[in-house]
Structure 1
C-alpha cells in the first residue's frame, strides 16, 4: 500500500513539473514576441475607447494618495477617462483623501458605500462602482497600485486590436521587493507565476487568469455576466472562468505594467494567501459541479490546472513527504529506494531551473543574491505553501459543510518609499 501511495504521489508531482516545463517554453517565446506587438500598437493610429477605472478602497489611507497620483500621470485623454474610487465603508481618511482629489479633477469620482451593502469584500465594491461607471472598457486597479504612465493605454489597445479578447491582463511588479527576505521571496514568486503560468498559458492556449489588478475588460461582458460574484474570495479567478465560457480569450500583455505592494510580515502574507487559496478552491468546486452546464469545454484546461495545483499536486507532495519521513523511523518496505530520492533531487533542480529562467526575462532580476534566495525558497517558502493550502482546504471544507458566510480579509498596507520602486526595476 505504501508503495502504491508513493508512486502515485510521484506521478502527480512529475505530471505538474513536466507541464510547468511546457508552460515555461511558452512563456519564453511570449517574452520575445509580445514586444513587437506592443510597439506596433503603441506606434500605430489610435482610436482609444472610453475607459472607467475602478479602485475599490477599504481603509486605504496609507496608500490611496500615491495611487491617485499615479492615475493623474496616466497617458490617456482625460475626455475619455473616468476614475471611480469606491470608498467602501472606510473608517479612516480614505474617503476624505479621495474627495480632495475629486474636487480638483473633474474625471475623478468617489462612491461612498454604506451598510448593509458595504465593507463585505472587493466584489461588492466593484459592483457598486460598475453601476455608476460609463466607459466602454472597465479597468481595475487595487488601492496600493502605481501603474506606469502607458499601462492604461496598453490595456485599452489590447482590447481595441484584439476583438476576440474579452479581457487584457497586464504585468505587476513588486514595489517593496527589497524591503526584507519575505518581499524578495514574493517578488520571485510573482515573476515566476506571470512568466510561467500567465505567459505560458497564453502562448499555448490563449488563456490567462484575470488578476485582482491591472486588467481591462469589456463593459458589455460584465453587464452580460451580471458583474462580479460577491460570494467569491478570488473574484478574479471566478470571473476568468465566466469570460472563457462566453467564448472569449484573456490576453496576457506584459507591456502594461503596474507596481504593487506585497505583504511585509508573515502574518499578513498568511491571511492574504489563505484567502487566495480558499477562493480558488471555491472556483474549482463551483465549476466542477456545474461543468455539464458550461458551453465552452476548453475551460477544462484551466480547471484541471487549478485542480492539480491546489489538490492533486499539493496532495502528492504531502503524501510523498509523509512517506519519506515515516520511513526514517518505521520500515515501510518502500521499493523505490534510490530512484525515488533521485526523482526528488531532479524535481528540486527542475524547480531551480524554471524559476531562474523566469527571472532572466526581467532586467536586473537574475542576480547571485536572487539565485541563492531561490535555493532557500524551495526548502522554506514553497514548503510553507503546502501547510497553507492544507489549512485553507480545512477552512473551505468547514464553510461548505456548515454553510458558513464568507468572510473577507482586507490585506494590511504599509507606508512606502516610492524610491524602492526604481531600485527593484
Structure 2
C-alpha cells in the first residue's frame, strides 16, 4: 500500500512540474512575440477616438502610500478628458481621505469617494463596487493603493482591448518596487516574475487563458454591468471575476507591455496573512465553480478550474503524502521498493524547479544574476516549503468558515513608507 501511495504522490508532483515547464516554454515564446503587433495595433486605431477610462483605486488606511500612487496617476500618458481616477476612501482612520481631497482640489479628474463607516472596511470587492457606482468610463481599470504604474500602462491596456474584441479584460505585468529590502522581498520578487511569465504568459500563449490579478488590469464596463460588479464574498475577487468573464464568452488577455510597480510584504507576519487570504480565496473560487460546473455556459473554464484544483488541493496532497511516507520510512520499514529511484526523481525535480525559475528570471534581464541564482537554490527548501503549511492553514480556516457559517473576514495588507523604493 505504501508503494502505491508513494507512486501516486510522485506522479502528481511530476505532472505539475512537467506542466509548469510546458507553461514556461509558452511564457518565453510569448515574451518574444507580445510586442510585435503594437505598431500595427496603433495604425488600426489611428482614426478611432480612445475610449473613456475610469481607474478605481480602493484605499483603506493607505496614507503612507496613496500620495505616491496619485503622483503616478498624474503622469499617465492618456488624454485627461478621457480619464477619471476614482479613489475609494474605504472608511480610513488615518489621513487617506485628506490626501485624496487635497489632490482633488488641484486635479478635478481625481475623484474621491468617501464610504460611510457603516458601509466601509468590509473588503476590496465592496470598495470597488462603491467606486463602480460613480464611474462613467467605457473601460474600468483597477490599481491597488500601493501601485505606481508606468506612464504608458493605461494606454497599452486600452490598445490591446481595442484590437482584441474578444478580450473582456486585459491584464498587464507588475514588478516589485521593494524587492531589495530583505530576503523575503527577494523571494517574493522571484515568485511574482515566475507567476507572470509561467502561469500568466504560458497559459495565454498555449490556451488563451489568463487570470485577472488584483491590480493593473482593464475590463469592459459592459461586462461588469452584466455581471453586477464584484463578488463581495470572495477573498480572491480577481480570480472569481476571471471565471465569470470567461463564462460570458470573453477571454482575459495577458499583455505585459502595461507595467506597474507595487509594494510587497516586508515581514513574514504580513506575508502569512496576505497569502493565507489569497489561498483561501482561490480555494473558495475552485469549490464555488466546480460545484456549479454543469451550469456554466463555457465549459472550457474547467481547464483553469482544474489547474487551481491541482495547485491548491492535489499537488498539495501529493507533496504532503510523499513527504510523510518518506519520513515515516526512516523510522519504520515500509518496504518501499522505490528508495533509490525516489531519490533520483527528487534530485531531478529539484533541478527542473531551478531550470524553470531561471528561465523566468532570464526574461527580466536585470534579474539574471548570481545573487538570484543562490536565492533560488535556497528558496526551494525555505519559501516553497512554508507555502505548504500556509495552504494547510488556509484549508482549515476555510473549512471552519463553511462549517460554522462564519462571515468573511478581510485582511488589509500592511504598507511601508519606503521613500527609496524603485519608482517611475
Normalised by the shorter chain, which TM-score bucket?
Answer: over 0.9
Q: Distance in 2 between matches of 1:120 and 1:257?
A: 29
The range that moved more, 305-314 or 33-42, is 33-42
Contact 2:178 2:421 in 1 (8 A): no
1:243 pairs with 2:245: yes
Taking a change above 3 Å as real, the CA distance of residues 67 and 42 of structure 1, as seen in their structure-2 partners, is farther
User: 2:231 maps to what in 1?
Assistant: 229
Q: How far does the alpha carbon of each residue in 1:228-283 deviate from its partner, in whole angstroms, 9 at most, with x for none?
A: 00000000000000001011010000000000000000000000000000000000
User: 2:139 maps to what in 1?
Assistant: 137
Q: Distance in 2 between matches of 1:318 and 1:48?
A: 51
Q: Distance in 2 between matches of 1:42 and 1:149?
A: 17
What's the TM-score once normalised by structure 1's chain length? Answer: 0.98
Q: How far does the alpha carbon of each residue in 1:28-67 deviate from its partner, in whole angstroms, 9 at most, with x for none?
A: 1100000112343357626311000000000000000000
Q: How far does the alpha carbon of each residue in 1:330-388 deviate from its partner, in whole angstroms, 9 at most, with x for none?
A: 11111111111111111100000000000000121010000000000000000000010
User: 2:30 maps to what in 1?
Assistant: 30
SS in 1 for 2:36: helix
Contact 2:148 2:423 in 1 (8 A): no
User: 1:314 maps to what in 2?
Assistant: 316
1:399 pairs with 2:401: yes
User: 2:187 maps to what in 1?
Assistant: 185
User: 1:284 maps to what in 2?
Assistant: 286
SS in 2 for 1:243: helix
What does 1:69-80 align with in structure 2 at a 5 Å threshold? Answer: 69-80=71-82
SS in 1 for 2:380: helix
Contact 1:176 1:421 in 2 (8 A): no
The range that moved more, 189-198 or 30-39, is 30-39
- Deviant stretches of 4+, over 4 Å: none
Taking a change above 3 Å as real, the CA distance of residues 222 and 248 of structure 1, as seen in their structure-2 partners, is same
**Which residues of structure 1 form unaligned runs of 5+?**
none
Taking a change above 3 Å as real, the CA distance of residues 40 and 21 of structure 1, as seen in their structure-2 partners, is same
Contact 1:124 1:228 in 2 (8 A): yes
Q: Distance in 2 between matches of 1:232 and 1:168?
A: 21
**Which residues of structure 2 form unaligned runs of 5+?**
none
Q: Distance in 1 between matches of 2:172 and 2:342?
A: 40
Q: Distance in 1 between matches of 2:393 and 2:49?
A: 49
1:89 pairs with 2:82: no
Please, which of 188, 208, 230 is the counterpart of residue 210 of structure 2?
208
Taking a change above 3 Å as real, the CA distance of residues 180 and 421 of structure 1, as seen in their structure-2 partners, is farther
Q: How far does the alpha carbon of each residue in 1:197-236 deviate from its partner, in whole angstroms, 9 at most, with x for none?
A: 0000000111100000000000000000000000000000
Contact 1:178 1:420 in 2 (8 A): no
Contact 1:42 1:154 in 2 (8 A): no
What is the deviation of 1:419? Answer: 4.8
Contact 1:20 1:196 in 2 (8 A): yes
Contact 2:6 2:325 in 1 (8 A): yes
Q: Distance in 2 between matches of 1:418 and 1:38?
A: 33
Provide the alpha-carbon RMSD of the alignment.
Answer: 1.0
Number of aligned residues: 422
Q: Distance in 2 between matches of 1:331 and 1:311?
A: 28
What does 1:399-418 align with in structure 2 at a 5 Å threshold? Answer: 399-418=401-420
Contact 2:53 2:140 in 1 (8 A): yes
Taking a change above 3 Å as real, the CA distance of residues 28 and 399 of structure 1, as seen in their structure-2 partners, is same
SS in 2 for 1:213: coil
Please, which of 282, 285, 306 is the counterpart of residue 304 of structure 1?
306
